[in-house]
Copies of this chain bind each other. A is one copy, B any other.
Amino acid sequence: MPEASPAHDHALIRDLVGRAAHLADEGTPDDYRTLYTHDATWTFGASTQNGIEEIVASARQRRAEGISGPETATRHLVVPLHVTVDGDTADAVSYFLFFGDTTSAPVVRVFGVYTDELTRTPEGWRIHRRVSRVG
Contact = CB atoms under 8 A, between A and B. Distances in A.
Interface residues of A, number: 37
Contacts of A134: 103
Interface string A64-78: 000000000101011
A10 B2 CA distance: 13
A6 B6 contact: no
A124 interface: no
A43 B23 CA distance: 23
30 contacts: A2-B5, A2-B6, A5-B5, A5-B7, A7-B7, A7-B8, A10-B11, A10-B15, A11-B11, A11-B83, A15-B83, A16-B82, A18-B79, A18-B80, A18-B81, A18-B82, A18-B93, A21-B95, A22-B81, A22-B82, A73-B135, A77-B95, A77-B97, A78-B79, A79-B79, A97-B106, A102-B135, A103-B134, A105-B108, A108-B108
Interface of A: 2, 5-8, 10-11, 15-16, 18-19, 21-22, 73, 75, 77-84, 93, 95, 97, 99, 102-103, 105-108, 110-111, 134-135
